Chain A
């Protein structure tokens, strides 16, 4: 079975400071990893993904994430937080391999950027 853990229900950060939203995963095999963001009363929007290659992936709105296989982590980062980054962030994992389409989401982390 595959799973995603987002250990922090909420993360607070001051505007202009760096932010990190944590994600760890568990899969039987190699992972495909995704980050999505959800603004209030909206659907989820794709931010970035790791499929293969460089462990540091860059995505939308200045976000990036680092795949760490030994720690089974895929933390989301941004060098300088904006108030508009305040939203709900979801990490998701799918196991790489033919025929595997099941995408499992974490419970989400609420990010609040304080002006």
Chain B
């Protein structure tokens, strides 16, 4: 069974440029998460989807970040414009049971903003 797939793995951009990350969750997992992981820190939730509905986006900086999950499968996380402080790893995860079940993480997309 394929795991959570993310792309690109690495992205280097100039500040003020836009960037997008893509995630394909495990088949059958209705819950999808985007996490932010800064160096030396644990993951922090940005947004959680139940199917195509964003049910928790309280930590998403909506002035520059946006996300979508069309058709309740793949998801895209966008940053526009990027700032130096956005340099981090963006992790996508999915789960079958978002309450007691474990999360399955992708390998992450490492963003460097110059």
| Chain A residues close to B by CB (< 8 Å) | 4, 32, 34, 36, 41-46, 49, 51, 90, 92, 94, 100-103, 105-108
- Nearest A residue to B4 via CB reads A43
Determine which residue in B91, B99, B106, B107 has the highest number of CB atoms from chain A within 10 A of its CB, and name it: B99
CB-based contact A51/B100 at 8 Å = yes
- CB contacts (< 8 Å) of B102 on chain A: these are 34, 46, 49
Q: Determine how close the nearest CB of chain A comes to the CB of B34; give it in whole angstroms.
A: 12
Q: Other than the known A36-B103, A46-B103, A105-B43, what 5 A-B pairs have Cβ atoms closer than 8 Å?
A: A43-B91, A44-B43, A101-B48, A101-B56, A107-B42
Given A43-B4, A43-B91, residue A105 in contact with residue B104 (CB < 8 A) = no
CB-based contact B103/A107 at 8 Å = no
For chain B, the count of residues having a C-beta within 8 Å of the partner chain is: 23
Determine which residue in B48, B91, B102 has the highest number of CB atoms from chain A within 10 A of its CB, and name it: B102
- CB contacts (< 8 Å) of A51 on chain B: these are 100
Q: How far is the CA of A44 from the CA of B41 in the complex (A)?
A: 13
CB-based contact B44/A105 at 8 Å = yes
Given A41-B107, A43-B4, A44-B91, residue A101 in contact with residue B41 (CB < 8 A) = no
